[in-house]
Amino acid sequence: MAGIDYTSLIPNNVNLHENRRLQRALEDWQPKFLEWWKDMGPNGFQAKEVYLRTAISVDAQGWAHFGYVRMPEYRWGIFLAEPEPGRQVNFGDHKGQPAWQEVPGEHRGTLRRLIVTQGDTEPASVEQQRHLGRTCPSLYDLRNLFQVNVEEGRHLWAMVYLLDAYFGRDGREESEALLQRRSGDADKPRILGAFNEKTPDWLSFFMFCFFTDRDGKYQLASLAESGFDPLSQTCRFMLTEEAHHMFVGETGIMRIVQRACELMREHKTEDVRKYGGIDLRTIQRYLNFHCSVSLDLFGSEISTNAANFYTAGLKGRFEETKKQDDHLLKEATYTVVELDGERIVTREEGALVSLNERLRDDCARGVARWNEVIRKHGIDIELKLPHRAFHRAIGIFSEVRVSPDGQVVSQAEWDARHHDWLPTEEDKAYIQSLMVPVTEPGKFANWIAPPARGINGQPVDFEYVRLA
């Protein structure tokens, strides 16, 4: 099972050749995917050779092969993690039953919606990032962008496989629709709001990989617990790819912070813009924005949908099987925050409807590592995560104005101060002015430090993308 068949048109480890109907459906979809990739994938680099990793087996040891590939020739395929023998539904009303190998009829519509919603984010992020290659800060970063992009493309394949294999005609229609929606399109937008925002620059890209892919990780981890076994196996392998995306985000911001600190020390000023850096205050405003937009992706704090997904055995909690409780949660409660007039207070709520709350990760560890860099430079400034109620569009805090430190403020105060809290037009114009491509091997844009090491043991000045 671990071995992947690369001899067939669609690489896979699901014995695709044994299911002619499915094979035909996917072979019919493949050219449409490639057409989408050429239209909406990385702009301007389709013919270039990129040093990419490709999955060769799905076990933990050495699943990746590295080599130069032109992106349209990347071997996108269908890779599922190893099945767990005797796996059961581990939570909800069906707890203790054997895990489902087919879609349970009563939950068919709900499950399809969950898969489509996850699947829609994958091509959306490729669309959002398609112009970034033209302003890359280095070949190393350019390669990382493309690695993330091809893997998001593969995640789309993963969801389309489930739709085509298990949902018949409806599934095939959804697979087509996933290639027809477009990020930010007024008529045919992507499903979730954050995936219709622009990713106009590399600071936004790194923030997106840090905050939004982290949401993605928690969503995938909770789908990996699903009682529907093919979804679980699919998401378990996707998680191994997702880890690299968060690495790109976290280290990208760390390198920007590091460069800011170097310039601060060298020139004895916080205002490093004069020297072509990105000042910590601007980084903080971008952080505030991306953190709040990503929190919205977790959904409403109190959600009957989340409760229903759980009770039905479709979507669990992060690390469900490691938790020591009854995995039914009918009696349990959970502490949630809510608004009491002007104050943010906590109260107990039924655990089932509070499931979105538990999934929320506070991202604190990554921020602590950035602050470690600042501290090592002897600088007395800290980056902070904004309060969870800050700048929210979904959930109970969407109706109030809240400062990054969690004070409910009036509209007038918000109007007067939001320029200190969120990226301004001037910030955006400044960041845009820095977006000048640097493509000589081993060279980096002035606003970002080189990475500590290269990819797959290669030196930092390796030719990660062959542009010539």
**Among 152, 201, 296, 320, which residue interacts with Fe ion (rule: CB under 5 A)?**
152
- What span, in angstroms and rounded, lies between the C-alpha atoms of 342 and 260? 37
125: phi > 0 → left, psi -120 to 50 → alpha, else beta; which?
alpha
Closest CA to 131 of 201, 39, 206: 201
State which H helix or E strand residue 231 sits in: helix 229-267
Radius of gyration for the chain, computed over Cα atoms and rounded to the nearest angstrom: 23
- Please report whether residue 388 would count as binding Fe ion according to CB under 5 A: no
Closer residue to Fe ion, CB minimum distance, 71 or 351: 71
Window of 2-10, 118-126, 132-140, 279-287 that interacts with Fe ion by CB under 5 A: 118-126
Quick check: 250 binds Fe ion (CB under 5 A)?
no
279 binds Fe ion (CB under 5 A): no
Nearer to Fe ion, 17 or 198 (CB): 198
Instruction: For the beta carbon of residue 166, count every other beta carbon within 10 angstroms.
Output: 20
**Residue 300 to residues 193, 237, 359, 383, Cα–Cα distance (Å):** 14, 28, 11, 26
Binding part of the chain for Fe ion, among 11-19, 105-113, 128-136, 153-161 by CB under 5 A, reads 153-161
| Minimum distance, C-beta of residue 155 to Fe ion, in the bound complex (Å) | 4
At 149, the amino acid letter reads N
Rounded least distance, CB 293 to Fe ion, Å: 16
What angle, 0 to 180 degrees and rounded to 10, lies between the N-to-C axes of helices 168-180 and 139-166? 150
Encoded amino acid at 140, one letter: Y
Among 94, 112, 143, 155, binds Fe ion (CB under 5 A): 155
Binding of Fe ion by 245 (CB under 5 A): yes
77/277 with CB nearer Fe ion: 77
Enumerate the β-bridge partners of residue 327.
Answer: none
Q: Which of 179, 377, 363 is nearest to 267 (CA)?
A: 377
Which CB sits closer to Fe ion, 49 or 213? 213
Contact pattern for Fe ion over residues 67 through 106, marking x by CB under 5 A: ----------------------------------------
Site mask for Fe ion (CB under 5 A), range 203-232, x = bound: ----------x-------------------
Name the site residues for Fe ion (rule: CB under 5 A).
122, 152, 155, 213, 242, 245
